[in-house]
Amino acid sequence: MVGNVSVLLLGMALAVVVRRSNYSIPGAVSDVFMMGRYHQLAGVLASICAFSLVNIWGYEPCPT
């Protein structure tokens, strides 16, 4: 129950961040090929940098 609610809240936070910043990971990848739309790429690099903090604690490969 606590896990479900925490993931629900996390999903809500994710939606707010994406809506307010116009940032989209899949959109950024396609924007690479469109002239003058490289802004999204900065967001992807920031995401990768933020998530790579996981390496400090040790990353386990995707379980699936």
Partner 1 sequence: MDDVRSTKLLVSSPWFKLILGGLGVGLLGLLFYFISPFWSSTGKPEVISVGGFLANTIAWGEKVILRDNYLLSGIPPILRYLILGIVLGSFIDSVLSRKLTWKRFNEQKIMKDDLPYDIGGGILIGFGVLLANGCVIKHLLAGVPGLDIASFVVVAGIIMGMWLGLKIVGG
Interaction site with partner 1 (CB under 8 A) = 2-23, 25-26, 29-30, 32-34, 39-40, 42-55, 59-64
Cβ contact 13:5 at 8 Å: no
Beta-strand runs (E) in the chain? none
Give the shortest CB-21-to-partner 1 separation in angstroms. Answer: 3
To partner 1, the closest distance from the beta carbon of 32 in angstroms equals: 7
Residue with tokens 């379980």: 63
- Residue 27's CB is within 10 A of a number of other CB atoms, namely 14
Closest CB 63 distance from partner 1, rounded Å: 6
